[in-house]
């Protein structure tokens, strides 16, 4: 077997004392920002866990709590808009904690001059996506900023979910020998946004995969699958999601490139544009890490749901080399997946 | 007694199909936006309640859940900054539901080019304010937008609190005969922001009243005060807070102008600038509506806490004229307090 090699990405040049666009990309710079600026200030076990949401014990109830702001540009794109994104993104973070979505807050920062039509379209999307995901919008806030001090509309959602099982679904629960399952093809959300932003046209429109992920997760829980870890693949894509798990669990994740599905259109766009589909954002894909002996049954359950009907096993967890993700390429070589410094496409969500 | 008269504020001119700055002001236009755009889209009992936060029953636990985005300009001002505001604003909304603050989320929308020094200063403020308020930051998010598409920093916080009593603290619980208590002087936050923004100087610096309000609220609960309603007086000030309660409870609130404390500096600034202190934003003041027979005891409890040491009874609730707030002026006349269309000072929080 060939020795794995690393392709590293240089940190983009910029003033060292300022936040750059790449700090919001979900990659290395963002992790640096978190580790150097945010985490040392807060003495918070929940933040240190670096999970998609926090898990809280309130009396006899176990809650999941999560938040995300959405600054996607443009506001509307094939397969969704900032409203569907703001609901599904947060609902999916709850699902990744194994929680049943319960209540959602929505907060709007509107730039003066946004048309009521646009606002109503987004509000309707939020209401529709919330209905579909089975979560209720219970509280909210609206702020307006001067023209030129925003970008049309930013949306924040925070979500509360209830955890009704005893499993500890987190990177720390991952074990050597586990199987790594991927719920479907990757890269569609990133290319869909890119295509609208850059005016690219393909033979068929590439739609974002934006969708709620709670149903397959709950089916796995009800099917008595021992879920070790879940991660939805947003900013930073599949590669970053896997790297975060490998680093936190201090184990090795081995992935086969040929088993990671990428739609033909998406692959074509990536080749032309020099993008790597493994790092492209998704909004309706997740990985599930489960014990080897339950992998086949877990795949079967996932495939029963439209959103994860193309679920596939893409790799395994092993002991060493610790904290690394390696990719067995189609041509037989192996390479280490390294975290990008920023995001290939800024403001993707 | 003279017949009360109304001073109405014209709706500012602007394109009818666009959101204007005044829609974010907490006044009439904002209520119109909520009633015409937001509430019809969501079928939500919790949103309809129009309280500072939503109250949710989760198993045997009663939770309060609330969110606010903060877009204050400038980011730093005497008495606080966007960080202290983002913690206290949300913690106070939880307190107004009678909830004990439990967990906070923080989400940042950073404009590219913000200095790390500024970011760290705000993060430290958040950590300090959270410690002081006894709430833990458990989850968060960071997004970066291009230069010129934001305004330095916007912060969203969402908060979860636990309600450990059986009282229903809400506008609907207000009864004719109740006493209206105000926790301190009004208008300081608004004038503090205005002074920095406009470069105004006073003999002594006017500091924002930004502070956590949970301690006096919990002391009232522990003192067996039957609290009918609480409201912190942020955007729209004392007048708007009272009008919202009068409209939701369909009762009349009668206030004596001479009993509403306004610091001399604040009153002076208002006179020069043509501002009404009753409509100026506060970030550490609240009203408590309690039964007449418990008013004296409630005031005593509130005065035991630094943040409400100057608490005073400012009026009463009566049956009619329904849904109105009237002010008995110092010169003996009475006038109806009408909601402003927007906010005297935009981006105050």
Alpha-carbon dihedral sign for residues A244, A245, A249, A251: negative
Q: Is residue A324 domain-shared with residue A211, that is, in the same domain?
A: yes
Q: Is residue B181 domain-shared with residue B324, that is, in the same domain?
A: yes
Tokens (6 digits) for B311: 């608490």
Q: Is residue A141 domain-shared with residue A288, that is, in the same domain?
A: no
DSSP 8-state symbol, A37: I
- With cut-offs at 50, 70 and 90, classify the pLDDT of residue B1: very low
Domain holding A255, by residue range, is 171-337
Tell me how far apart the alpha carbons of residues B312 and B296 are, in angstroms, rounded to a whole number. Answer: 10
Nearest to A137 among B47, B117, B156 (CB): B47
**Is A303 contained in some domain?**
yes
**Is A200 contained in some domain?**
yes
Tell me how far apart the alpha carbons of residues B75 and B86 are, in angstroms, rounded to a whole number. Answer: 11
User: So what's the pLDDT on residue A7?
Assistant: 42
The reported pTM is 0.93
What CATH number is attached to the domain comprising A155?
3.30.1330.10
> Looking at chain B from residue 141 to 170, which residues have their Cβ under 8 Å from any Cβ of chain A?
141-146, 148-151, 154, 156, 158, 160, 162
Q: Who contacts B76 (Cβ-Cβ below 8 Å, separation ≥6)? A: B82, B121, B196
Residues B275-306: tens digit of each pLDDT: 999 999 999 999 999 999 999 999 999 999 99
Q: Mean of the per-residue pLDDT values for chain B?
A: 92
Chain B hits for A54, CB-CB cut-off 8 Å, are 103, 105, 138-139
Q: Is residue B210 domain-shared with residue B332, that is, in the same domain?
A: yes
Tokens (6 digits) for B51: 């309280």
**Is A205 contained in some domain?**
yes
Best of B31, B68, B69 to mutate (most A CBs within 10 Å, chain A): B69
Q: Is residue A176 domain-shared with residue A152, that is, in the same domain?
A: no
Q: Is residue A196 domain-shared with residue A239, that is, in the same domain?
A: yes
What beta strand segments (E) does B23-79 contain?
A: 54-58, 61-70, 76-77
Chain B hits for A66, CB-CB cut-off 8 Å, are 105, 139
Q: Is residue B131 domain-shared with residue B264, that is, in the same domain?
A: no
Q: Is residue A107 domain-shared with residue A206, that is, in the same domain?
A: no
What's the gap in Å between the CA of A173 and the closest CA on chain B?
A: 20
Tell me how far apart the alpha carbons of residues B139 and B349 are, in angstroms, rounded to a whole number. Answer: 22
- Count CA atoms within 13 Å of residue B147 on its CB side: 6
Q: Are A41 and B103 within 8 A, CB to CB? A: no
- Structural domains of chain A, count: 2
Nearest to B56 among A71, A73, A138 (CB): A138
Instruction: Let me know: does A24 contact B143? Beta carbons within 8 Å.
Output: yes
What CATH number is attached to the domain comprising B175?
3.90.650.10
Tell me how far apart the alpha carbons of residues B307 and B285 are, in angstroms, rounded to a whole number. Answer: 8
Tell me how far apart the alpha carbons of residues B273 and B200 are, in angstroms, rounded to a whole number. Answer: 11
User: So what's the pLDDT on residue B6?
Assistant: 45
Q: Is residue B189 domain-shared with residue B308, that is, in the same domain?
A: yes
**Is B80 contained in some domain?**
yes
Q: Which residues of chain A have pLDDT under 70?
A: 1-15
**Is A36 contained in some domain?**
no
CA distances from B46 to A293, B42, B241, B262 (A): 45, 10, 18, 34
Instruction: Let me know: does B206 contact B78? Beta carbons within 8 Å.
Output: yes
Instruction: Let me know: does B78 contact B209? Beta carbons within 8 Å.
Output: no
Instruction: Let me know: does A280 contact A191? Beta carbons within 8 Å.
Output: yes
Q: Is residue A218 domain-shared with residue A287, that is, in the same domain?
A: yes
Q: Is residue A268 domain-shared with residue A305, that is, in the same domain?
A: yes
A175 beta partners: none
**Is A318 contained in some domain?**
yes
Tokens (6 digits) for B57: 């029953």
Residues A295-324: tens digit of each pLDDT: 999 999 999 999 999 999 999 999 999 999
Compare A85 and B343 and report the one with higher pLDDT.
A85
User: So what's the pLDDT on residue A15?
Assistant: 62
The closest of B223, B221, B226, B241 to B325, measured between CA atoms, is B241
Tell me how far apart the alpha carbons of residues B155 and B107 are, in angstroms, rounded to a whole number. Answer: 6
CB distance from B319 to chain A under 8 Å? Answer: no
**Is A2 contained in some domain?**
no
User: So what's the pLDDT on residue A14?
Assistant: 56
Residues B34-68: tens digit of each pLDDT: 988 899 999 888 887 777 789 999 988 999 999 99
Instruction: Let me know: does B53 contact B97? Beta carbons within 8 Å.
Output: yes
Alpha-carbon dihedral sign for residues B319, B321, B322, B324: negative
Res. B185: pLDDT tops 90:
yes
Nearest to A56 among B19, B38, B103 (CB): B103
Domain boundary among A111, A146, A163: A163
Domain boundary among B163, B198, B228: B163
Res. B143: pLDDT tops 50:
yes
Q: Are B44 and A146 within 8 A, CB to CB? A: no
**For residue A337, which phi and psi values (nearest 5 degrees)?**
-85, 120
User: So what's the pLDDT on residue A164?
Assistant: 93
**Is A67 contained in some domain?**
yes
Q: Is residue B158 domain-shared with residue B179, that is, in the same domain?
A: no
Tokens (6 digits) for B106: 């923080």
The closest of B187, B99, B114, B190 to B146, measured between CA atoms, is B114
Tell me how far apart the alpha carbons of residues A284 and A26 are, in angstroms, rounded to a whole number. Answer: 17
Tell me how far apart the alpha carbons of residues A78 and B241 are, in angstroms, rounded to a whole number. Answer: 42
Tokens (6 digits) for B3: 């017949």
Query: Model ipTM?
Result: 0.93
Cis peptide before A74 (omega within 30 of 0): yes
User: So what's the pLDDT on residue B295?
Assistant: 98
B325 beta partners: B253
The H helix count followed by the E strand count for chain A is 9, 15
Tell me how far apart the alpha carbons of residues B117 and B123 are, in angstroms, rounded to a whole number. Answer: 10
């702001």: which residue's tokens? Answer: A69
Tell me how far apart the alpha carbons of residues A277 and A256 are, in angstroms, rounded to a whole number. Answer: 14
Compare B95 and A26 and report the one with higher pLDDT.
B95
Domain boundary among A109, A141, A163: A163
Tokens (6 digits) for B170: 């809400």
Tell me how far apart the alpha carbons of residues A215 and B80 are, in angstroms, rounded to a whole number. Answer: 44
């Amino acid at each position: 077997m060939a020795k794995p090699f690393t392709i590293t990405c240089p940190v983009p040049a910029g003033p060292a004392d300022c936040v750059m666009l790449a700090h919001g990309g979900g990659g290395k710079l963002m992790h640096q920002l978190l580790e150097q600026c945010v985490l040392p200030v807060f003495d918070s076990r929940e933040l240190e866990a670096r999970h998609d949401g926090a898990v809280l014990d309130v009396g006899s109830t176990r809650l999941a709590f999560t938040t995300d702001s959405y600054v996607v540009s443009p506001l509307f794109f094939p397969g969704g808009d900032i409203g569907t994104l703001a609901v599904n993104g947060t609902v999916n973070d709850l699902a990744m904690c194994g929680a049943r979505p319960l209540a959602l807050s929505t907060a709007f920062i509107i730039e003066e001059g946004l048309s009521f039509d646009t606002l109503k379209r987004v509000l309707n999307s939020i209401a529709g996506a919330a209905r579909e995901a089975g979560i209720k919008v219970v509280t909210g806030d609206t702020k307006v900023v001067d023209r030129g001090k925003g970008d049309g509309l930013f949306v924040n959602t925070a979500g509360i979910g209830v955890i009704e099982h005893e499993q500890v679904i987190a990177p720390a629960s991952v074990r050597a020998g586990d199987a790594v399952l991927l719920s479907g093809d990757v890269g569609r959300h990133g290319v869909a946004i890119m295509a609208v932003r850059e005016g690219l046209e393909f033979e068929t429109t590439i739609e974002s995969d934006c969708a709620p992920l709670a149903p397959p997760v709950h089916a796995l829980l009800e099917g008595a699958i021992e879920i070790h870890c879940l991660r939805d693949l947003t900013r930073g894509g599949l590669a970053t999601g896997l790297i975060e798990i490998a680093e936190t669990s201090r184990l090795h994740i081995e992935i086969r490139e040929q088993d990671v599905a990428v739609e033909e259109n998406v692959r074509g766009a990536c080749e032309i544009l020099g993008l790597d589909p493994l790092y492209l954002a998704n909004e309706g894909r997740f990985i599930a890490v489960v014990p080897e002996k339950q992998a086949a049954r877990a795949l079967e359950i996932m495939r029963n749901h439209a959103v994860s009907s193309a679920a596939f096993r893409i790799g395994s967890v092993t002991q060493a080399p610790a904290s690394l993700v390696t990719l067995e390429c189609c041509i037989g070589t192996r390479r280490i997946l390294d975290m990008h410094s920023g995001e290939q496409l800024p403001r993707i969500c």
